[in-house]
Structure 1
Amino acid sequence: MPRLALYALVVCVLSVAAAVVSFAQGMWLGIVWVLLAGLSSNMTWYYARRAKVLRQRDEAASAGH
């Protein structure tokens, strides 16, 4: 997994945990953590998919030569 995807995944997991704690304590600030979790989740998916596509492209280019 690419480093940026891994960092985004860690941020996603931590923000979900922070959202759970915030809502458990009755604070509505948890909404911000949920939004951050959604953003970091999308970033994880993007960077992981991008690395997969680039790897497939490189393999196809090296197989063609």
Structure 2
Amino acid sequence: MTAAWAEGSHRAPELAEVLRVLEAGKPRMLGYADAPVPESAPGPVRFCDAPLDEAVRVIPRASL
């Protein structure tokens, strides 16, 4: 699972390929922007700036 990056971002296919090579399953992206790469999820807040209670709520759903 990755907290940053959103489906459809330009690096999503790269992440999917890396996980495939590592046999680590499909990517589960939480949709937050990566701090140094805001275009990773245009519009959403950076994960490091997200309210803690929101991030804690989102993580368990993404791991299903």
Higher share in strand:
2
- Greater helix content: 1
Where relative contact order (Cα < 8 A, 6+ residues apart) is larger, the structure is 1
**Same fold? TM cut 0.5:** no
Q: TM-score, structure 2 length as denominator?
A: 0.29
TM-score, reference length from structure 1: 0.29
Higher gyration radius (CA): 1
